[in-house]
A and B are shown apart, each in its own frame.
Chain A
Amino acid sequence: MLLLVGTRKGAWIFQGDRARRAWRVDGPHLLGQVVNHLVMDPRDGRTLLMAARTGHLGPTIFRSTDLGHTWTEATRPPAFPKVSDADGGRAVSHTFWLEPGAASEPGVWWAGSSPPGLFRSEDGGVTWQSVAGWNDNPMYSKWVPADSGTPDGPLLNQIAIDPRDTRHMYVATSTGGVFESSDGAATWRPLNRGVEAIFLPDPYPEYGQDAHYLAVPRLRPDRIYQQNHCGIYRIDRPSEVWERIGLNMPAEVGDIGFSIVAHPRDADSAWVFPMDGSDVWPRTSPGGRPAVYRTRDAGESWERHDNGFPRDQGWFTVKRQAFAIDDQDPVGLYLGTTGGELWTGSDEGASWRQIAAHLPEIYSVVPAMPS
């Protein structure tokens, strides 16, 4: 088992033993690069793709076909089409999300960027093409308002592909919420009914929400959990309406956070890492007491798990891609903090242990099983 850790200052690879108890660190890889995502291709169990930029330099994709021993750069990284009026043209600030294509499409990868762009590679990430169905969509300026953004810029922050139908896709954005395509990214439509946007005059708009993270149970892909800027939601397709299951969280904890993970085999089980969304939105563990909350009944109820975490004065912030679950039995959970701590949760997230500290700010944690 590998843990692929992307940070604001480079990447690290942690190799775990069979029991996932002992972890050996390998790194840094590309020290100083801002690494938003580091992902292994599950289709070959060897190829790594890294979304990187630096404080000075523009964005690129680094590839390794030997589990990080050597890295080469994409010859054509994700980029928007050139337009005649350069002042009006979009430029990729950074690639935020990397998504391997389906098993039936070897070599296919998708990428999401800031500003919100969608890109596709058909050669394992060496060259990337702009996806016109999103990037040139007639609704783009509505779905991505010019003045919108997170502190790191507006994001197309996640891509999810239906394992039963590769043409059925979802994307999550920080500017418009969730969008769905049924034709392989040629056309898109909003999927946000029932999701609140407290920062807009109409709190339940067709689009305009901030979808932080989607979790799709692999064996039940008609169910989607969403950690939104404004709470925790679930939808069971073909329903068009999200239900705010976060209202079942303890009121003193709330349902604000960046991420959510779903059990790979039990679609009723999901975990969140709540953060403080009160007052000026500190986005730290509520009360300085870190905990994950688990539901076993699709969000009807939640149980607190904080064994091993600091009992107090633990002001964790865990970003979108830095909370993850593996597919072992029993499942293991992982989280990385903005303070550079890496934690593993055994007993299905009931008991937590720090396996690294003093890393740079962690942006992503991705479990991977090399072949």
Chain B
Amino acid sequence: MRVRLPTMLRSYSGGDAEVEAQGATLADLLLDLDRRFPGIRFRIIDEQERVRPHVRIFVDAEIARELSVPLAADSVVQVVGALSGG
């Protein structure tokens, strides 16, 4: 499925704004994403499996607050860098 990445994560994707990754849940998808782009997961998910404070993840335009959110084959996942100024 398609995963849209914000500018601050594109150093991992070779500059691509949209990449492909697979998973039955958001947790699975993020593990697959990290296999494809090593290191990317820890910068958006902390060691307690929480989305980091200034990151938002949307699944089909709905904000995902838990990594257990199920994904469909045609889901679109969007990672956003949110509200960190100065």
Chain A residues with CB under 8 Å of chain B are 32, 54-58, 60, 73-75, 77, 79-83, 86-87, 89-92
Residues of B in contact, count (CB < 8 Å): 22
Q: Is B16 an interface residue (CB 8 A)?
A: no
Cα–Cα distance between A80 and B84 once the two chains are bound (Å): 24
Which residue from B44, B45, B48 sits with its C-beta under 8 Å from A83?
A: B48
CB–CB A58/B39 < 8 A? no
Assess whether A56 is in contact with B8, with CB atoms less than 8 Å apart.
Answer: yes
Residues on B with C-beta less than 8 A from A80 are 47-48
Which of B17-25, B50-58, B69-77 lines the interface with chain A? B50-58
Check A57 against B55 for contact (C-beta < 8 Å): yes
Q: Sample 23 A-B pairs with CB under 8 A, ordered by A number.
A: A54-B8, A56-B6, A56-B8, A56-B52, A56-B54, A56-B84, A57-B43, A57-B55, A58-B42, A58-B43, A58-B46, A60-B42, A60-B43, A73-B38, A75-B38, A77-B42, A79-B46, A79-B47, A82-B49, A86-B48, A87-B48, A90-B48, A91-B48
- Name the residue of chain A whose CB is nearest to the CB of B43: A57
B residues in contact with A57, CB < 8 Å: 8-9, 43-44, 52, 54-55, 81
Bound Cα distance A89, B81 (Å) = 23
- The reply to whether B42 and A86 contact each other, CB–CB distance below 8 Å, is no
By a CB distance below 8 angstroms, the chain B residues around A77 are: 42
Q: Are A91 and B39 in contact (CB under 8 A)?
A: no
| Nearest CB on A from B67, distance (A) | 10
Interface of A is mostly: loop
Nearest residue, chain A, Cβ from B81: A56
With an 8 A cutoff between CB atoms, is B82 at the interface? yes
Give the shortest distance, in Å, between A344 (CB) and chain B (any CB). 29
Residue pair A86, B50 in contact (C-beta under 8 Å): yes
A89 near B48 with CB under 8 A, answer yes
Contact between B85 and A58 (Cβ–Cβ < 8 Å)? no
Inside 8 A of B55's CB, which chain A residues have their CB? 56-57
Q: Given A60-B39, A60-B43, A79-B42, do A55 and B48 touch, yes or no (CB 8 Å)?
A: no
The docked-state distance in angstroms from the alpha carbon of A81 to that of B52 is 16
**What are the nearest 3 A-B pairs in CB distance?**
A55-B84, A89-B48, A56-B81
Q: How far is the CA of A87 from the CA of B81 in the complex (A)?
A: 22
Contacts of B6 in A (CB 8 A): 56
CB distance from A66 to the nearest CB of B (A): 18
B6: nearest chain-A partner, CB-CB: A56
- B85 contacts A55, CB within 8 Å? yes
Cβ contact within 8 Å between B46 and A56: no
In whole angstroms, how far apart are the Cα atoms of A86 and B65 in the complex? Answer: 13
- Measured CB to CB, the closest approach of chain A to B48, in angstroms, equals 4
Q: B86 to chain A: which residues have CB within 8 Å?
A: 55
- How far is B50's CA from A77's CA once the two chains are assembled, in angstroms? 16
Q: A55-B85, A86-B50 are known contacts; what are 14 more A-B pairs with Cβ within 8 Å? A: A32-B8, A56-B8, A57-B8, A57-B52, A57-B55, A58-B46, A60-B42, A77-B42, A79-B42, A80-B48, A89-B47, A89-B48, A91-B48, A92-B47
Q: In whole angstroms, what is the CA distance A132 to B49 when docked? A: 20
Cβ–Cβ contact B39 & A75, under 8 A:
yes
Taking a contact as CB atoms closer than 8 A, the residue among A55, A79, A82, A89 that contacts B54 in the complex is: A55
